[in-house]
Amino acid sequence: MGYRLSKIYTKTGDKGETGLGDGRRVGKDHPRIEAIGELDNLNSQLGLLLAELTEQQTSCDGLNEIIEVLAPCQHRLFDLGGELAMPAYQALQKSEVERLEAAIDLWNEEVGPLTNFILPGGSRLIAQAHVCRGLARSAERRCQHLNAVEPLRPVGMAYINRLSDLLFVAARLIARRQNIDEVLWQAAQKPDTP
């Protein structure tokens, strides 16, 4: 991928269009641009999660493993965004999906089965992992919307789906490693019937 931006503003998008890597111009509200934007949002929030994990790793054993698994995800999200911006470009490999699946399986063994619905919270780190999970789901929906219009490579769709699962299990693992109880959902009381 040799193309690099030498100038940050070009003024070519002032009328609501942007350029893709293949030279096409599309509206900034095109499903492809929406999907790229959601991946960018997720990547930014994942960067925040990683920064906070790094800050906390000295006071909490076991966070370094989470950092090691999640840090490459930022690069792979950028790869996926590149594939969306340049449809002929193919960067993601099935091995990346398998890497996420292996981490999910390993971490899920440690946290154990889910016996109740959990809410985002308990600590800032746990909540931030859930923010990332929610954004991964949003990015997946945007990619699915684009896929219905312009088919995408299955590996990219699988990657973003597994990433949201990984982030859910990561939030649970962070709670366990921080020795913080997960916030369990409490159903609203049923109204008294006369």
DSSP states along 46-93 = HHHHHHHHHHHTTTSTTHHHHHHHHHHHHHHHHHHHHHHHSTT-----
45, pLDDT greater than 90: yes
* Closest-CA residue to 80 (of 166, 160, 187): 160
Predicted confidence band of residue 11 (pLDDT cuts 50, 70, 90) = low
Within-domain flag for 112: yes
Within-domain flag for 192: no
Give me the domain span that covers residue 74: 26-179
Percent of the chain scored above 90 by pLDDT? 63
Predicted confidence band of residue 183 (pLDDT cuts 50, 70, 90) = confident
Question: What is the sign, positive or negative, of the torsion defined by CA atoms of 147, 152, 154, 160?
Answer: negative
Average pLDDT over residues 7-12: 57
Rounded Cα distance between 80 and 64, Å, is 25
Within-domain flag for 3: no
Record the tokens describing residue 172, joined without a space. Answer: 């649970």
Percent of the chain scored above 70 by pLDDT? 87
Record the tokens describing residue 158, joined without a space. Answer: 């699988």
Can you give the CATH number for the domain in which 153 is found? 1.20.1200.10
Average pLDDT over residues 163-186: 92
22, pLDDT greater than 80: no
Element (H, E) at 167: helix 154-178
Within-domain flag for 157: yes
Within-domain flag for 184: no
Record the tokens describing residue 55, joined without a space. Answer: 């800050």
Within-domain flag for 193: no
Tally of domains in the chain:
1
17, pLDDT greater than 90: no
Predicted confidence band of residue 32 (pLDDT cuts 50, 70, 90) = confident
Average pLDDT in the chain: 89
1, pLDDT greater than 50: no
- Our measurement of the distance from residue 80's CA atom to the centroid of its chain's CA atoms, rounded to an integer in Å, reads 11
Average pLDDT over residues 141-169: 96
